[in-house]
Structure 1
């Protein structure tokens, strides 16, 4: 799952600026600068807790971006 996120959880800086996730005016070349979810796959941690509540996940953001959460479906 870590490798999957490293491969798929990335966006060009220009897109992040347009979405309001990154600050600044968009500059030439920002569409070529890819921002990834993490520097290293080993830095992505997965935790699962028990209980009768619903399943959910959270990303603790330490990079200055806004925190976003999304439900992760686990195939059977």
Structure 2
């Protein structure tokens, strides 16, 4: 008898006020924070997890130059 593979339900996690914890100030105090967020984004993709960071102050967030991270700025 074959095993039935369970289907994963896609999850989209929306994080408001991203500038509050992805700012240069926070990253300088907790350098591992950006690394962990990027790791969650990378590992989450294959597990059907999407991350959306929302901010009204995009200039206050740290620029992320990472393959799994895409930036879309809407004004």
State the TM-score, normalizing by the size of structure 2: 0.24
User: Where is the strand percentage greater, Structure 1 or Structure 2?
Assistant: 2
Higher relative contact order (CA 8 A, sep 6+): 2
State the TM-score, normalizing by the size of structure 1: 0.24
